[in-house]
Amino acid sequence: MANAMTDSRLNPSKQIESLWRLGGLTWTELGRRVWEGMNKTDLFNRAYELAYNFLLAVFPMLFFLISLLGVFAHEGSRLRADLFTYVQLALPPTAYQLLQTTLNEITRNTPGGKLTFGLLFALISGSAGMTQLITALNSVYEVRETRSWVKVRLISLGLTAAMSVLIIAALFLVLAGGHVIAYLGQVFGMSTAAFVASKVLQWVFALGFVVFAFAMVYYFAPDVEEQHWYWITPGSIIGVAIWALASGVLRAYLHFFNTYSKTYGSLGAVIILMLWFYVTGLAILLGGQINATIEHAAAEHGHIEAKAPGQKAA
Question: What are the tens digits of pLDDT across the range 210-225?
Answer: 788 888 888 888 888 7
In a domain, 312, yes or no: no
Say if residue 13's pLDDT is above 60. no
In a domain, 311, yes or no: no
What does the pLDDT read at residue 132?
A: 87
Q: Grade residue 130 by pLDDT with cuts at 50, 70 and 90.
A: confident
Nearest CA among 11, 18, 8, 2 for reference residue 300: 18
What does the pLDDT read at residue 7?
A: 47
Q: For residues 17 and 28, give the distance between their C-alpha atoms in angstroms, rounded to a whole number.
A: 19
In a domain, 90, yes or no: yes
Say if residue 4's pLDDT is above 60. no
Number of other residues whose CB lies within 10 A of the CB of residue 279: 19
What are φ and ψ of residue 93, in 5° steps? -55, -45
How many domains does one find in the chain? 1
Stated pTM of the model? 0.74
In a domain, 309, yes or no: no
Higher local confidence (pLDDT), 150 or 80? 150
149 contact partners, CB below 8 Å, separation of at least 6: none
Number of other residues whose CB lies within 10 A of the CB of residue 7: 7
What is the arithmetic mean of pLDDT over 17-30?
Answer: 78
Say if residue 35's pLDDT is above 90. yes
What does the pLDDT read at residue 6?
A: 46
What does the pLDDT read at residue 270?
A: 79
What is the chain written as a DSSP string?
-EE-SS--SS-HHHHHHHHHTGGG--HHHHHHHHHHHHHHTTHHHHHHHHHHHHHHHHHHHHHHHHHHHGGGGSTT-HHHHHHHHHHHHHS-HHHHHHHHHHHHHHHHTS-HHHHHHHHHHHHHHHTHHHHHHHHHHHHHTT----S-HHHHHHHHHHHHHHHHHHHHHHHHHHHHHHHHHHHHHHHHT--HHHHHHHHHHHHHHHHHHHHHHHHHHHHHSS--SS--EESS-HHHHHHHHHHHHHHHHHHHHHHH--HHHHHHGGGHHHHHHHHHHHHHHHHHHHHHHHHHHHHHHHHHTT-TT---TT-S--
Determine which of 62-76, 77-91, 236-250, 268-282 has the lowest per-residue pLDDT on average.
62-76
The alpha carbon torsion through 171, 177, 179, 180 (nearest 10 deg) reads 160
Q: Grade residue 71 by pLDDT with cuts at 50, 70 and 90.
A: very low
In a domain, 308, yes or no: no
Do 279 and 247 form a contact (C-beta atoms < 8 A)?
A: yes
20: containing domain = 2-300
What is the arithmetic mean of pLDDT over 239-243?
Answer: 87
In a domain, 91, yes or no: yes
Percent of the chain topping pLDDT 70: 61
In a domain, 131, yes or no: yes
What does the pLDDT read at residue 98?
A: 77
In a domain, 313, yes or no: no
